[in-house]
Structure 1
């Protein structure tokens, strides 16, 4: 015996079937792409592009492997730059020469 379908069980056309996974992918793509695009624009225009671009890549990295790969590259480059800057500012200043070309140590020895 065949029962008639209820109102909630009607066949839905395939183009109207929106799954959670598809909606999540679209939302992440839209939001992450927009944040990334704004970050790239901030390179030219004033703004914190150094903060916004990794944020956009992190959002896109939730869904796409290429974005996660680029985020790891950006993090590695940032760490390298921070270590380089830290080494520069914490370097030993004893080898500093003045206008005469003498270091502070050699001036003490000359006196």
Structure 2
């Protein structure tokens, strides 16, 4: 059973963020903006989970490297 509102918030964020990430993963194969949806889901997850914050930081680093490489 859920013991506190903080736990409930964490569970809801995990469900919502996880669902958005899964939808983004489907968009890799299906038509859709997966490169926008996946980071959006990870950003939602990053509000409660450290591993998601680290993953967002890696995405930002890779994006910056790609952007600087094109210049």
Relative to the length of structure 1, the TM-score reads 0.60
Point out the structure with max Rg over C-alpha.
Answer: 1
Task: Identify which of 41, 54, 57 aligns with 1:72.
Answer: 57
| Aligned-residue CA RMSD (Å) | 1.2
Runs of at least 4 residues off by over 2 Å: none
Deviation at 1:48, TM superposition (A): 0.5
In structure 1, runs of 5+ residues without a counterpart are 1-14, 88-111
Relative to the length of structure 2, the TM-score reads 0.91
Count of paired positions: 71
Task: Identify which of 44, 47, 51 aligns with 2:29.
Answer: 44
Compare relative contact order (CA 8 Å, sep 6+) and give the higher one, 1 or 2.
2
In structure 2, runs of 5+ residues without a counterpart are none
